Structure 1
Amino acid sequence: MNYSLFLSIMMKFLFPLVCLLSACTARDNGVKKNNIDFSKFPAVINPVFKNVIITDNGVIGAMYLTDSTILAYDWRGTNGNFFNEYSLKTTKLVATYLPLGRTSGKTLGAISTGFFKDAIWMFVINLKKIISLKLNQSKFKPIVYNELPFSKFYYSLQFIDSLKVIGNGYYETPNTIQEIELLTQKVTADYGKPDDPPVGVPQYAWKRANEGFSALKPDGKKLVIAHLWSDKLEIFNLKNKTRILVSGPQNAAAEFHSFKSDRQDVIQKTDKSIHAFSTVFATDNYIYALYSGNNMSSPYINYGKRIFVYNWEGKPVREINFNDYASCFTVSSDDKVLYIYNVLTKFIMAASL
Structure 2
Amino acid sequence: MTASSYATEFEVAAMELLDAQMARGPIREQREKAGWSESLWAAFVDAGWLDVMLPDDLGGLGLGIREISGIFTAAGKQLVPGPLFDNAVAVPLVVSGATRTEHLRALVAGRKRISLADGAASSQPAESRPRIADGRLFGSVDLVRCGGGTVEHLLVVVEHPEPTLVMASTATAGLTSRHRRSFDPAAECAQVVFDGAEFEPLFENRSGEPERAASRITQLRDAARLLYAHEAAGTARHLLDSAVSYAKEREQFGRPIGAFQAVAHLLATLATRQLTLEAACEQGLDLWDGDPVRRGVAAATAKAIAADVGRSVGEGALQVHGGIAFTHEFPLHRWHLHALSLQGLYGDQRVLAAELGHLLLHEGLEP
Taking structure 2 as the reference length, the TM-score comes to 0.25
Q: Which has the higher helix share?
A: 2
Under a length normalisation based on structure 1, what TM-score does the superposition of the two structures give?
0.25
Q: Which has the higher strand share?
A: 1
Task: Name the larger-Rg structure.
Answer: 2
Taking CA–CA contacts closer than 8 Å with sequence separation of 6 or more, which of the two structures ends up with the larger relative contact order? 1
